[in-house]
Amino acid sequence: MIDFRALADKYDTPLYVYDFNHITEQYQKLKKAFSGRKSLISYAVKANSNLSVVSHLAGLGSGADCVSIGEVKRALMAGIPKYQIIFSGVGKGDDEIEEALEDDILLLNLESEAEMERVEAIAAKLGKEARISIRVNPNIDPKTHPYISTGLHENKFGVDLETAKRMYIYANNSKHLDPVGIHFHIGSQLTELEPIREASAIVADLVRSLKAIKIEIKFFDVGGGLGIVYDNETTIEPYEYAQAIFSTLYGLDVTIICEPGRFMVGNCGYFLTRVLYEKVNEGKRFVIVDGAMNDLLRPSLYNAYHKVEVVGKAGDESEADIVGPVCESGDFFAKNRLLPPTEHNDLVVVYSAGAYGFVMASNYNTRPRPAEVAIVDGKDRCIRQRETFEDLIKLETMCL
Ligand SMILES: Cc1ncc(COP(=O)(O)O)c(C=O)c1O
Ligand SMILES: N[C@@H](CCCC[NH3+])C(=O)O
Protein backbone atom coordinates (compact mmCIF):
# COMPACT_ATOMS: atom_id res chain seq x y z
CA MET A 1 0.00 0.00 0.00
CA ILE A 2 1.34 3.40 -0.95
CA ASP A 3 0.95 6.08 1.72
CA PHE A 4 -0.32 8.86 -0.54
CA ARG A 5 -0.84 11.30 2.33
CA ALA A 6 2.75 10.97 3.49
CA LEU A 7 4.01 11.51 -0.06
CA ALA A 8 1.81 14.58 -0.55
CA ASP A 9 3.08 16.01 2.75
CA LYS A 10 6.70 15.33 1.86
CA TYR A 11 6.72 16.42 -1.80
CA ASP A 12 3.65 18.67 -2.03
CA THR A 13 1.06 18.51 -4.80
CA PRO A 14 0.40 18.20 -7.71
CA LEU A 15 2.64 15.14 -7.82
CA TYR A 16 3.27 12.05 -9.92
CA VAL A 17 4.08 8.80 -8.09
CA TYR A 18 5.29 5.64 -9.82
CA ASP A 19 5.45 2.16 -8.29
CA PHE A 20 8.62 0.66 -9.79
CA ASN A 21 7.95 -2.84 -8.40
CA HIS A 22 4.69 -2.84 -10.34
CA ILE A 23 6.59 -1.84 -13.51
CA THR A 24 8.86 -4.86 -12.94
CA GLU A 25 5.81 -7.12 -12.69
CA GLN A 26 4.36 -5.76 -15.93
CA TYR A 27 7.65 -6.26 -17.78
CA GLN A 28 8.06 -9.81 -16.50
CA LYS A 29 4.47 -10.76 -17.32
CA LEU A 30 4.91 -9.73 -20.93
CA LYS A 31 8.38 -11.19 -21.33
CA LYS A 32 7.13 -14.51 -19.95
CA ALA A 33 4.20 -14.50 -22.39
CA PHE A 34 6.67 -14.49 -25.28
CA SER A 35 8.76 -17.34 -23.88
CA GLY A 36 9.37 -20.14 -26.33
CA ARG A 37 10.29 -17.70 -29.14
CA LYS A 38 13.05 -15.12 -29.58
CA SER A 39 11.69 -11.81 -28.37
CA LEU A 40 12.69 -8.30 -27.44
CA ILE A 41 10.48 -6.00 -25.39
CA SER A 42 11.26 -2.46 -26.52
CA TYR A 43 9.56 -0.10 -24.10
CA ALA A 44 7.87 2.84 -25.87
CA VAL A 45 9.73 5.69 -24.19
CA LYS A 46 7.07 8.25 -25.15
CA ALA A 47 4.69 6.79 -22.54
CA ASN A 48 6.88 7.91 -19.66
CA SER A 49 10.36 9.07 -20.50
CA ASN A 50 11.69 9.88 -17.06
CA LEU A 51 15.32 8.69 -17.02
CA SER A 52 14.80 6.65 -13.86
CA VAL A 53 11.81 4.86 -15.38
CA VAL A 54 13.76 4.04 -18.55
CA SER A 55 16.82 3.00 -16.58
CA HIS A 56 14.68 0.75 -14.35
CA LEU A 57 13.41 -0.98 -17.50
CA ALA A 58 16.94 -1.15 -18.89
CA GLY A 59 17.91 -3.03 -15.74
CA LEU A 60 15.20 -5.60 -16.48
CA GLY A 61 16.60 -6.18 -19.98
CA SER A 62 14.19 -3.98 -21.91
CA GLY A 63 14.97 -2.28 -25.21
CA ALA A 64 13.49 1.05 -26.28
CA ASP A 65 11.16 2.26 -28.99
CA CYS A 66 11.82 5.95 -29.64
CA VAL A 67 10.12 8.61 -31.75
CA SER A 68 12.72 11.36 -31.65
CA ILE A 69 16.47 11.56 -31.35
CA GLY A 70 15.83 13.04 -27.91
CA GLU A 71 14.20 9.78 -26.88
CA VAL A 72 17.10 7.81 -28.40
CA LYS A 73 19.48 9.92 -26.28
CA ARG A 74 17.40 9.26 -23.18
CA ALA A 75 17.41 5.52 -23.88
CA LEU A 76 21.19 5.44 -24.34
CA MET A 77 21.73 7.61 -21.27
CA ALA A 78 19.48 5.31 -19.24
CA GLY A 79 21.62 2.32 -20.18
CA ILE A 80 19.58 0.63 -22.92
CA PRO A 81 22.07 -1.15 -25.22
CA LYS A 82 22.22 0.47 -28.67
CA TYR A 83 21.32 -2.81 -30.37
CA GLN A 84 18.01 -2.80 -28.48
CA ILE A 85 16.91 0.65 -29.64
CA ILE A 86 14.45 1.32 -32.46
CA PHE A 87 13.70 4.74 -33.93
CA SER A 88 10.17 5.09 -35.39
CA GLY A 89 8.06 8.05 -36.52
CA VAL A 90 6.71 9.58 -39.74
CA GLY A 91 8.86 12.71 -39.71
CA LYS A 92 12.50 12.12 -38.79
CA GLY A 93 14.73 15.07 -39.63
CA ASP A 94 18.10 14.73 -41.41
CA ASP A 95 19.99 15.51 -38.20
CA GLU A 96 18.04 12.87 -36.33
CA ILE A 97 18.70 10.24 -39.01
CA GLU A 98 22.40 11.07 -39.06
CA GLU A 99 22.76 10.85 -35.30
CA ALA A 100 20.80 7.58 -35.12
CA LEU A 101 23.07 6.06 -37.79
CA GLU A 102 26.14 7.25 -35.96
CA ASP A 103 24.78 5.78 -32.73
CA ASP A 104 24.45 2.47 -34.60
CA ILE A 105 21.06 1.61 -33.05
CA LEU A 106 19.27 -1.61 -33.95
CA LEU A 107 16.75 -0.26 -36.47
CA LEU A 108 15.41 2.83 -38.13
CA ASN A 109 11.77 2.13 -38.74
CA LEU A 110 10.76 3.81 -42.02
CA GLU A 111 7.32 5.16 -42.75
CA SER A 112 7.55 6.37 -46.40
CA GLU A 113 9.51 6.00 -49.63
CA ALA A 114 10.60 9.62 -49.36
CA GLU A 115 12.04 8.92 -45.92
CA MET A 116 13.87 5.86 -47.27
CA GLU A 117 15.57 8.06 -49.89
CA ARG A 118 16.81 10.43 -47.17
CA VAL A 119 18.07 7.54 -45.01
CA GLU A 120 19.88 6.01 -47.99
CA ALA A 121 21.50 9.33 -48.92
CA ILE A 122 22.60 10.03 -45.34
CA ALA A 123 23.93 6.48 -44.88
CA ALA A 124 25.88 6.88 -48.16
CA LYS A 125 27.36 10.17 -46.93
CA LEU A 126 28.48 8.45 -43.72
CA GLY A 127 29.73 5.37 -45.59
CA LYS A 128 27.31 3.17 -43.64
CA GLU A 129 24.64 0.58 -44.28
CA ALA A 130 21.47 1.50 -42.40
CA ARG A 131 19.57 -1.36 -40.75
CA ILE A 132 15.93 -0.63 -41.45
CA SER A 133 12.45 -1.92 -40.88
CA ILE A 134 9.38 -0.71 -42.74
CA ARG A 135 6.16 0.16 -41.01
CA VAL A 136 3.28 -1.50 -42.78
CA ASN A 137 -0.17 -0.03 -42.44
CA PRO A 138 -2.39 -3.13 -42.64
CA ASN A 139 -5.66 -1.14 -42.84
CA ILE A 140 -7.18 -2.81 -39.80
CA ASP A 141 -9.64 -1.08 -37.52
CA PRO A 142 -8.15 -1.42 -34.02
CA LYS A 143 -11.49 -0.51 -32.38
CA THR A 144 -10.05 2.14 -30.09
CA HIS A 145 -10.44 5.93 -29.71
CA PRO A 146 -10.05 7.54 -33.18
CA TYR A 147 -7.31 9.89 -31.89
CA ILE A 148 -5.11 6.92 -30.97
CA SER A 149 -5.92 4.65 -33.91
CA THR A 150 -2.98 4.29 -36.29
CA GLY A 151 -3.51 1.20 -38.46
CA LEU A 152 -6.03 2.46 -41.03
CA HIS A 153 -5.15 3.94 -44.41
CA GLU A 154 -6.78 7.19 -43.30
CA ASN A 155 -4.09 7.47 -40.58
CA LYS A 156 -0.72 9.04 -41.40
CA PHE A 157 1.31 6.05 -40.24
CA GLY A 158 3.22 3.49 -42.30
CA VAL A 159 2.85 2.45 -45.93
CA ASP A 160 0.41 0.14 -47.71
CA LEU A 161 1.42 -3.44 -48.55
CA GLU A 162 2.27 -2.76 -52.20
CA THR A 163 4.48 0.18 -51.32
CA ALA A 164 6.15 -1.83 -48.57
CA LYS A 165 7.03 -4.62 -51.00
CA ARG A 166 8.46 -2.12 -53.50
CA MET A 167 10.51 -0.53 -50.70
CA TYR A 168 11.92 -3.90 -49.58
CA ILE A 169 13.00 -4.76 -53.12
CA TYR A 170 14.63 -1.36 -53.53
CA ALA A 171 16.33 -1.51 -50.12
CA ASN A 172 17.58 -5.03 -50.74
CA ASN A 173 19.40 -3.79 -53.84
CA SER A 174 20.89 -0.75 -52.13
CA LYS A 175 24.44 -0.74 -50.78
CA HIS A 176 23.38 1.57 -47.99
CA LEU A 177 20.19 -0.07 -46.75
CA ASP A 178 19.80 -3.39 -44.96
CA PRO A 179 16.11 -4.31 -44.70
CA VAL A 180 16.10 -6.64 -41.69
CA GLY A 181 12.84 -5.76 -39.98
CA ILE A 182 9.14 -5.28 -40.49
CA HIS A 183 6.79 -3.35 -38.28
CA PHE A 184 3.14 -2.59 -37.64
CA HIS A 185 1.33 -0.77 -34.85
CA ILE A 186 -2.41 -0.41 -35.28
CA GLY A 187 -3.29 1.76 -32.29
CA SER A 188 -3.14 2.34 -28.58
CA GLN A 189 -5.30 1.15 -25.67
CA LEU A 190 -6.33 -1.95 -27.63
CA THR A 191 -8.73 -4.16 -25.74
CA GLU A 192 -9.59 -6.64 -28.50
CA LEU A 193 -7.28 -9.34 -29.75
CA GLU A 194 -8.76 -10.02 -33.17
CA PRO A 195 -7.54 -6.81 -34.89
CA ILE A 196 -3.98 -7.56 -33.69
CA ARG A 197 -4.15 -11.15 -34.91
CA GLU A 198 -5.50 -10.00 -38.29
CA ALA A 199 -2.79 -7.36 -38.68
CA SER A 200 -0.10 -9.83 -37.66
CA ALA A 201 -1.41 -12.38 -40.20
CA ILE A 202 -1.32 -9.81 -43.01
CA VAL A 203 2.20 -8.70 -42.16
CA ALA A 204 3.44 -12.30 -41.70
CA ASP A 205 2.11 -13.11 -45.19
CA LEU A 206 4.17 -10.25 -46.55
CA VAL A 207 7.25 -11.61 -44.74
CA ARG A 208 6.67 -15.03 -46.34
CA SER A 209 6.32 -13.46 -49.78
CA LEU A 210 9.59 -11.54 -49.21
CA LYS A 211 11.29 -14.77 -48.12
CA ALA A 212 10.20 -16.32 -51.42
CA ILE A 213 12.24 -13.66 -53.24
CA LYS A 214 15.21 -14.09 -50.89
CA ILE A 215 14.60 -11.08 -48.68
CA GLU A 216 15.02 -12.42 -45.15
CA ILE A 217 13.27 -10.50 -42.39
CA LYS A 218 14.81 -11.13 -38.97
CA PHE A 219 12.77 -8.79 -36.76
CA PHE A 220 8.98 -8.96 -36.65
CA ASP A 221 7.88 -5.88 -34.74
CA VAL A 222 4.27 -6.03 -33.57
CA GLY A 223 4.24 -2.50 -32.13
CA GLY A 224 2.65 -1.67 -28.80
CA GLY A 225 -0.95 -0.89 -27.99
CA LEU A 226 -1.84 -3.38 -25.24
CA GLY A 227 -4.71 -1.82 -23.34
CA ILE A 228 -4.95 -1.44 -19.56
CA VAL A 229 -7.85 -1.18 -17.14
CA TYR A 230 -8.85 2.42 -16.48
CA ASP A 231 -12.42 1.72 -15.45
CA ASN A 232 -13.82 -1.79 -15.75
CA GLU A 233 -12.82 -2.70 -19.31
CA THR A 234 -11.94 -6.25 -20.22
CA THR A 235 -8.58 -6.12 -21.85
CA ILE A 236 -6.04 -8.41 -23.49
CA GLU A 237 -4.08 -10.99 -21.50
CA PRO A 238 -0.37 -11.01 -22.42
CA TYR A 239 -0.34 -14.80 -22.84
CA GLU A 240 -3.27 -14.74 -25.30
CA TYR A 241 -1.72 -11.78 -27.10
CA ALA A 242 1.55 -13.65 -27.62
CA GLN A 243 -0.26 -16.82 -28.70
CA ALA A 244 -2.31 -14.87 -31.26
CA ILE A 245 0.90 -13.50 -32.77
CA PHE A 246 2.65 -16.89 -32.67
CA SER A 247 -0.27 -18.42 -34.56
CA THR A 248 0.48 -16.20 -37.59
CA LEU A 249 4.22 -16.90 -37.75
CA TYR A 250 4.33 -20.46 -39.13
CA GLY A 251 7.39 -21.10 -41.26
CA LEU A 252 9.17 -17.99 -39.99
CA ASP A 253 12.25 -17.80 -37.79
CA VAL A 254 12.05 -14.23 -36.53
CA THR A 255 12.73 -12.30 -33.34
CA ILE A 256 9.46 -10.77 -32.18
CA ILE A 257 9.79 -7.17 -31.05
CA CYS A 258 7.00 -5.73 -28.94
CA GLU A 259 6.82 -2.02 -28.06
CA PRO A 260 4.46 -1.53 -25.14
CA GLY A 261 4.22 1.85 -23.49
CA ARG A 262 0.95 2.12 -21.61
CA PHE A 263 0.94 -1.54 -20.52
CA MET A 264 4.34 -1.17 -18.90
CA VAL A 265 3.71 1.95 -16.84
CA GLY A 266 0.05 3.08 -17.07
CA ASN A 267 -1.39 1.37 -14.01
CA CYS A 268 1.85 1.88 -12.07
CA GLY A 269 1.41 5.65 -11.83
CA TYR A 270 -0.74 7.94 -9.68
CA PHE A 271 -1.39 11.65 -9.88
CA LEU A 272 -1.90 13.36 -6.52
CA THR A 273 -3.71 16.65 -6.23
CA ARG A 274 -5.22 18.56 -3.30
CA VAL A 275 -8.63 20.11 -2.98
CA LEU A 276 -8.61 23.90 -2.98
CA TYR A 277 -12.32 24.68 -2.86
CA GLU A 278 -15.78 23.36 -3.49
CA LYS A 279 -18.60 25.32 -5.07
CA VAL A 280 -22.08 24.77 -6.41
CA ASN A 281 -23.41 26.67 -9.43
CA GLU A 282 -27.19 26.35 -9.64
CA GLY A 283 -27.04 22.77 -8.34
CA LYS A 284 -23.90 21.79 -10.28
CA ARG A 285 -21.14 20.77 -7.87
CA PHE A 286 -17.47 21.44 -8.59
CA VAL A 287 -14.43 20.24 -6.64
CA ILE A 288 -11.56 22.55 -7.56
CA VAL A 289 -8.11 21.02 -7.13
CA ASP A 290 -4.53 22.30 -7.45
CA GLY A 291 -3.68 20.04 -10.42
CA ALA A 292 -4.92 20.84 -13.90
CA MET A 293 -5.06 19.81 -17.54
CA ASN A 294 -1.54 21.12 -18.03
CA ASP A 295 -0.36 18.40 -15.60
CA LEU A 296 -2.52 15.51 -16.86
CA LEU A 297 -4.09 16.13 -20.25
CA ARG A 298 -5.80 12.82 -21.05
CA PRO A 299 -9.28 13.64 -19.69
CA SER A 300 -9.36 16.96 -21.57
CA LEU A 301 -7.87 15.62 -24.79
CA TYR A 302 -9.66 12.28 -25.15
CA ASN A 303 -12.41 12.60 -22.57
CA ALA A 304 -10.46 9.72 -21.01
CA TYR A 305 -11.75 8.10 -17.85
CA HIS A 306 -9.43 7.89 -14.83
CA LYS A 307 -10.58 6.44 -11.53
CA VAL A 308 -10.41 9.04 -8.72
CA GLU A 309 -10.50 8.73 -4.96
CA VAL A 310 -10.64 11.27 -2.15
CA VAL A 311 -8.23 9.71 0.35
CA GLY A 312 -9.77 8.67 3.65
CA LYS A 313 -13.08 10.47 3.10
CA ALA A 314 -16.55 9.05 3.50
CA GLY A 315 -19.98 10.59 3.83
CA ASP A 316 -23.01 11.29 1.67
CA GLU A 317 -21.82 11.13 -1.90
CA SER A 318 -23.16 13.38 -4.62
CA GLU A 319 -22.18 14.01 -8.21
CA ALA A 320 -19.40 16.50 -8.89
CA ASP A 321 -16.85 17.49 -11.52
CA ILE A 322 -13.21 17.61 -10.43
CA VAL A 323 -11.67 20.61 -12.18
CA GLY A 324 -8.38 22.49 -12.17
CA PRO A 325 -7.42 26.18 -12.05
CA VAL A 326 -6.61 26.53 -15.78
CA CYS A 327 -8.85 28.95 -17.63
CA GLU A 328 -10.42 26.43 -20.00
CA SER A 329 -13.80 24.76 -19.63
CA GLY A 330 -12.08 21.58 -20.81
CA ASP A 331 -9.87 21.59 -17.71
CA PHE A 332 -11.23 18.61 -15.76
CA PHE A 333 -10.11 15.25 -14.38
CA ALA A 334 -13.51 13.69 -13.83
CA LYS A 335 -17.11 14.56 -14.67
CA ASN A 336 -20.28 13.70 -12.81
CA ARG A 337 -18.58 11.39 -10.31
CA LEU A 338 -20.06 10.42 -6.99
CA LEU A 339 -17.82 12.01 -4.36
CA PRO A 340 -18.01 12.53 -0.60
CA PRO A 341 -18.02 16.08 0.73
CA THR A 342 -14.49 17.53 0.53
CA GLU A 343 -12.58 20.22 2.37
CA HIS A 344 -9.57 22.40 1.69
CA ASN A 345 -6.39 20.23 1.49
CA ASP A 346 -8.16 16.88 1.08
CA LEU A 347 -6.09 14.63 -1.12
CA VAL A 348 -7.40 13.31 -4.44
CA VAL A 349 -5.66 10.39 -6.17
CA VAL A 350 -6.08 10.04 -9.92
CA TYR A 351 -5.32 6.44 -10.88
CA SER A 352 -3.65 4.95 -13.98
CA ALA A 353 -1.62 8.09 -14.60
CA GLY A 354 1.75 6.46 -15.27
CA ALA A 355 1.50 6.54 -19.08
CA TYR A 356 1.02 9.68 -21.18
CA GLY A 357 0.77 11.70 -17.99
CA PHE A 358 3.82 13.78 -17.13
CA VAL A 359 5.17 13.46 -20.69
CA MET A 360 2.17 15.33 -22.04
CA ALA A 361 2.30 18.03 -19.36
CA SER A 362 2.89 21.65 -20.33
CA ASN A 363 3.46 25.02 -18.71
CA TYR A 364 0.16 26.46 -19.90
CA ASN A 365 -0.95 29.34 -17.66
CA THR A 366 2.68 29.57 -16.42
CA ARG A 367 2.19 26.55 -14.23
CA PRO A 368 5.37 24.71 -13.23
CA ARG A 369 5.21 20.98 -14.01
CA PRO A 370 4.83 18.61 -11.02
CA ALA A 371 7.57 16.62 -9.31
CA GLU A 372 7.86 12.89 -9.99
CA VAL A 373 8.53 10.32 -7.28
CA ALA A 374 9.48 6.65 -7.56
CA ILE A 375 8.56 4.03 -4.98
CA VAL A 376 11.14 1.24 -5.00
CA ASP A 377 10.80 -1.59 -2.48
CA GLY A 378 8.65 0.65 -0.30
CA LYS A 379 11.10 3.60 -0.34
CA ASP A 380 10.34 6.91 -2.05
CA ARG A 381 12.81 8.86 -4.17
CA CYS A 382 12.35 12.09 -6.08
CA ILE A 383 13.16 11.38 -9.75
CA ARG A 384 12.29 14.84 -11.08
CA GLN A 385 12.06 18.00 -9.08
CA ARG A 386 9.07 20.26 -9.23
CA GLU A 387 9.69 23.10 -11.69
CA THR A 388 10.00 26.62 -10.40
CA PHE A 389 8.92 29.94 -11.89
CA GLU A 390 12.61 30.60 -12.64
CA ASP A 391 12.82 27.34 -14.64
CA LEU A 392 9.89 28.47 -16.74
CA ILE A 393 11.36 31.81 -17.77
CA LYS A 394 15.03 30.94 -17.99
CA LEU A 395 15.12 30.75 -21.81
CA GLU A 396 13.21 34.00 -22.32
CA THR A 397 14.70 37.46 -22.86
CA MET A 398 13.02 40.81 -22.45
CA CYS A 399 14.05 42.69 -25.57
CA LEU A 400 12.95 46.14 -24.38
C1 LIG B 1 5.12 2.93 -33.14
C2 LIG B 1 4.57 2.87 -31.77
N3 LIG B 1 5.01 1.91 -30.93
C4 LIG B 1 4.57 1.82 -29.67
C5 LIG B 1 3.63 2.70 -29.18
C6 LIG B 1 3.20 2.53 -27.77
O7 LIG B 1 1.86 2.40 -27.67
P8 LIG B 1 1.16 1.94 -26.31
O9 LIG B 1 1.50 2.93 -25.28
O10 LIG B 1 -0.28 1.95 -26.65
O11 LIG B 1 1.65 0.59 -25.99
C12 LIG B 1 3.11 3.69 -30.01
C13 LIG B 1 2.05 4.62 -29.56
O14 LIG B 1 0.88 4.39 -29.84
C15 LIG B 1 3.60 3.78 -31.35
O16 LIG B 1 3.17 4.73 -32.16
N1 LIG C 1 -1.24 9.91 -25.73
C2 LIG C 1 -2.18 8.85 -25.92
C3 LIG C 1 -1.60 7.67 -26.60
C4 LIG C 1 -0.83 8.00 -27.80
C5 LIG C 1 -0.12 6.83 -28.29
C6 LIG C 1 1.13 7.22 -29.01
N7 LIG C 1 1.20 6.69 -30.35
C8 LIG C 1 -2.91 8.53 -24.65
O9 LIG C 1 -2.75 9.17 -23.67
O10 LIG C 1 -3.70 7.66 -24.56
In order of their start, the domains of the chain are 4-15+267-387 (2.40.37.10), 34-260 (3.20.20.10)
Q: How far is the C-alpha of 377 from the C-alpha of 380, rounded, in Å?
A: 9
Element holding 346 (H helix, E strand): none
Residues in the chain: 400
Hey, which bits of 105-196 come out as E strands?
Answer: 107-110, 130-135, 177-183
pLDDT along the chain (400 residues), means of 10: 97 98 98 97 98 98 98 98 97 97 98 96 98 93 68 74 96 98 94 95 97 97 97 95 97 97 98 98 97 98 97 96 97 98 98 98 98 98 98 94
> Quick one: pLDDT at residue 212?
96
Contacts 24+ apart (CB under 8 A), 357-361: 357/16, 357/48, 357/269, 357/271, 357/295, 357/296, 357/298, 358/16, 358/48, 358/50, 358/295, 358/384, 359/46, 359/47, 359/48, 359/49, 360/296, 360/297, 360/298, 360/301, 361/294, 361/295, 361/296, 361/297
pLDDT of residue 140: 87
What local confidence, expressed as pLDDT, does residue 66 receive?
98
How far is the centre of ligand 1, averaged over its atoms, from the C-alpha of 323 (Å)? 29
From 46, 67, 306, the mutation candidate for ligand 2 (largest count of ligand atoms within 8 A of CB) is 46
The CA 302 to ligand 2 mean position distance, Å, reads 9
Q: Which residue has its alpha carbon closest to ligand 2 atom 1? A: 356
Rounded Cα distance between 92 and 105, Å, is 15
- Residue 289 is predicted with a pLDDT of 98
* Cα 63 to Cα 85: distance, rounded to the nearest angstrom: 6
The pLDDT score that the predictor gives to residue 397 is 96
Atom 8 of ligand 2, residue of closest alpha carbon: 356
Q: Which of 110, 144, 188 for mutating ligand 1's site (highest number of atoms within 8 Å of CB)?
A: 188
Q: How many angstroms does the Cα of residue 260 sit away from the middle of ligand 1?
A: 6
Q: Do strands 63-66 and 308-310 pair parallel, antiparallel, or not at all (unpaired)?
A: unpaired
Q: Measured in angstroms, how far is the CA atom of residue 226 from the centroid of ligand 1? A: 9
Give, using CA atoms, the residue closest to atom 14 of ligand 1. Answer: 188
Question: Is 327 labeled as catalytic in the residue annotation?
Answer: yes
Distance CA 37, CA 22 (A): 25
Pocket around ligand 2: residues whose beta carbon is below 6 Å from it? 46, 148, 188-189, 298, 356
Q: Are 49 and 359 in contact (CB under 8 A)?
A: yes
- Strands (E) across 247-367 are located at 255-258, 269-281, 284-289, 308-310, 318-323, 332-339, 347-350
Q: Write down the pLDDT at residue 139.
A: 85
Residue 202 DSSP one-character state: H
Q: Is 133 in the pocket of ligand 1 (CB under 6 A)?
A: no
